[in-house]
């Protein structure tokens, strides 16, 4: 059975969403304790820092605050405006914690 690219993309998005929502599941977007380093993306998908203006706009318009790391990453995973490499960058650079505003997220990302 072959899977169309659109169905494959939807399935990938669903799996990412489930990984973020399911505690204790190991995936690139799961939360880590503050003593652990953020998980690294797979070697085949290097991360790319997203554009600052696009990031600021997304964090302001699409994330409801206060938000946890998992909620911020879920909002990023659910949008087509970021490439998989940019989503991997968020996952690799956003520390665990709770964020009161887009400014808090940007400071944590050192942007």
pLDDT digits (tens, 9 = 90+) for 60-105: 999 999 999 999 999 988 888 899 999 999 999 999 999 999 999 9
In a domain, 65, yes or no: yes
Q: Tens digit of pLDDT for each residue in 31-58?
A: 344 444 445 444 455 788 998 999 999 9
In a domain, 103, yes or no: yes
In a domain, 72, yes or no: yes
Q: What domain range is 87 assigned to?
A: 5-30+43-108
Contact (Cβ atoms closer than 8 angstroms) between residue 29 and residue 40: no
DSSP code, position 19: H
Write the CB contacts of 55 (distance below 8 Å, at least 6 apart in sequence): 106, 109, 111
In a domain, 54, yes or no: yes
Residue 59 — pLDDT band, cuts 50, 70, 90?
very high
Our count of domains for the chain comes to 1
In a domain, 97, yes or no: yes
Is the model more confident about 18 or about 86? 86
In a domain, 60, yes or no: yes
Interaxial angle between packed helices 69-77 and 5-21, expressed in degrees from 0 to 180 and rounded to the nearest 10:
170
In a domain, 35, yes or no: no
Spatial CA neighbour of 69 closest among 34, 42, 41? 34
Average pLDDT, the chain: 73
In this predicted structure, what is the pLDDT of residue 2?
53
Is the whole model's pTM more than 0.85, yes or no? no
In a domain, 38, yes or no: no
In this predicted structure, what is the pLDDT of residue 74?
93
DSSP code, position 39: P
């Amino acid at each position: 059975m072959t899977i169309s690219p659109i169905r494959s993309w939807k399935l990938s998005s669903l799996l990412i969403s489930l990984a973020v929502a399911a505690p204790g599941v190991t995936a690139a977007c799961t939360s880590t304790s503050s003593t652990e380093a953020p998980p690294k993306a797979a070697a085949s998908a290097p991360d790319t820092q997203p554009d600052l203006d696009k990031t600021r706009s997304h964090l302001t318009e699409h994330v409801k605050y206060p938000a946890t790391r998992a909620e911020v990453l879920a909002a990023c995973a659910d949008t087509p405006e970021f490439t998989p490499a940019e989503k991997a960058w968020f996952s690799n650079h956003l520390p665990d914690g709770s964020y009161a505003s887009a400014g808090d997220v940007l400071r944590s990302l050192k942007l």
